[in-house]
Structures are given as structure tokens and as C-alpha cells.
Amino acid sequence: MLNIEELTGLCSKLGCRITPECSLREYITFRFGGTCRALISVNSAVSAAKLLRYLRENSIKFGILGRGSNVIVPDSGFDGIILLFGSDFARITTKGTEMHCQAGALLASACVHAQQSGLTGMENLFGIPGTVGGALYMNAGAYGSEIKDIIVSAEYIDLDGEIKTMSRDEMDLSYRHSVFSESGKVITSVTLRLSEGDPDAIKQAMNECMAKRSSKQPLEYPSAGSTFKRPEGSYASLLIDQCGLKGMSCGGAMVSEKHSGFVINKGYATCADVLELCEKIKNIVKEKTGYILELEPVILK
């Protein structure tokens, strides 16, 4: 049972910021959604472990947020506690060709840090709008690269609240999947192995990657990135194009006219608008092509 005063006291002891009845719309890239009972900004693996033990021992519902770039929050909000792995938990360090990132570090910041350190291997990941922890959680990737290509190990908190380490081979990494996405284990940091490279050449490759994104993706609108996973044998955007669904709308949600793989928020979309539109897309694509599309973003519930 949630005792907000007791939880606030624990956060004070741990040095973590807590915001009761916090609106989540500013914490997800889709920019909609209701409130949570409280949002706690995690500042270390130790504090995260203590908070998780407290929440589990008291049977308090909780969720984990990083950048919120692959998350859909219901209009009714989330009836529990959100642990935010954000700027208070975002340190990045390098040792030789290995880079250690706390889970809340932005993937883009890690790419820049690598470039400035003369380390190559992350260029194609530049521009993915998530945290390093979130990238590992879903094995994020783009342009032929995935986070699994450079992972060495990860520190995580198990179901007993213990801090442990897992090697890459134990992570069951595949397309938009990892062991973390189904086990309840919470990533606290990630170690990457890169290669030495020329900082100027790395920067040029990153700029080219970002230019490609800007030219093809509707980055000027709030979204959760690619809305549907790639179905085996085809591409979601291709199927949606073939069905003539570009520009299709429900309320403030619309299939992007620039890239049909993106459902965007025109500025006033609700969660209900987005889910209704996605359901219509799935039904039409299945009826016309036989393919079954699966949502890529996680619905917080």
C-alpha cells in the first residue's frame, strides 16, 4: 500500500527528487498522457535498488522511464510510481575503447562522447531519441546497426533488489528484444566496446546519419518513432503505403505524410486518438495484405 509520506522520506535519505501527482506528458516524446502517483528521479544504482526493494516489498505498482521515446501513456495516467532514469543518472566514462554509461544517459550523448573520444561504432545510432538503458532494453537499431553489436555487459537489479552484472551472451538480443524486456530485471548501466577512429570522420558520419533522418522522418512532430515493428518478410511503412493510409487521422493523431511508419501527434492528440488510429491501421493492413502489424512502443499500464 502506498504511503507517500514514507516514500518521500526514503527519497530524502537517498537524495532522490520526488514529484507527487506528476504529469507524464513532458516525460514521453509523444507528448500526451495523464499523471502518475509520484515520479522519482533516480540518482544511482544503489538508490534504484533500495527503491525497487521498497516498492516490491510493499506491493506498490511501479514503472521505469528513461527518455520516454518508445512509450505510450494512457490518458488516465499510471496508478503507480514512476522511477525516472534521467539526467540525475546519466554519467558516461571511457577507459581505452570501452565506454561505461549509466542507464539514464541519452544515446545521442553517448554517441557524441564516443566521437569526442575518437571511438567509432555508434555513428548509425546517432539520433535515436532514447537513453542507453532504453536502447539495450529494446535492442534499438538503425541503418543496419543495433546496440547488440557493441554491447559488452550490463549492470542490472534483479527481482530481489540485488545489483548484478550480465554479459552480452546472456541477454537474448534479437530484433527489438532483450531478456530485460520480459524478465523484470532493471538495467542500471551499460558497457560498450568500440574501436579507435578519427574524430573528424566519425563526426561526418554522424552528421550524415542525422541528415538522413531529418530528410526522411517527421522529426518536427511528437511521436514515438517507428510505430510498428518490422513484420517478417516486409516493412510496416511499405505495407501502410500500399494501403494508401498516409495522412489518415484520428483526432490529433495522424499517419505521417513524410514517413508512413510514423504515427505523429499533430499537437493535440490524446492516447485514445493514437490507439484508435493504430488499431485502424492494423485492421486495414491485415485485411488488404494479410500481414499482422505489432506496436513497437510499450503501453504503460
Q: Which residues are catalytic?
A: 176, 226, 296
Answer whether 224's CB lies under 8 Å from 69's CB: yes
Strand partners, 71: 298
Give me the residue label for grid cell 561505461: 100
Rounded CA-CA distance 218/216 in Å is: 7
**Nearest partner of 139 among 90, 70, 84, judged by Cα:** 70
Q: In degrees rounded to 5, what are phi and psi of residue 247? A: 85, -5
Rounded CA-CA distance 157/186 in Å is: 5
Rounded CA-CA distance 117/112 in Å is: 9
161-185 core/surface letters (b: 16 or more CB in 10 A; e: else): beeeebebeebebeebbbebeeeeb
Element (H, E) at 289: helix 271-289
The type of residue at 169 is D
Give me the residue label for grid cell 521498497: 54
Give the rounded distance of the alpha carbon of 121 from its chain centre: 20
Rounded CA-CA distance 253/40 in Å is: 30
Q: In degrees rounded to 5, what are phi and psi of residue 105? A: -65, 135
How is residue 281 written as a grid cell? 491501421
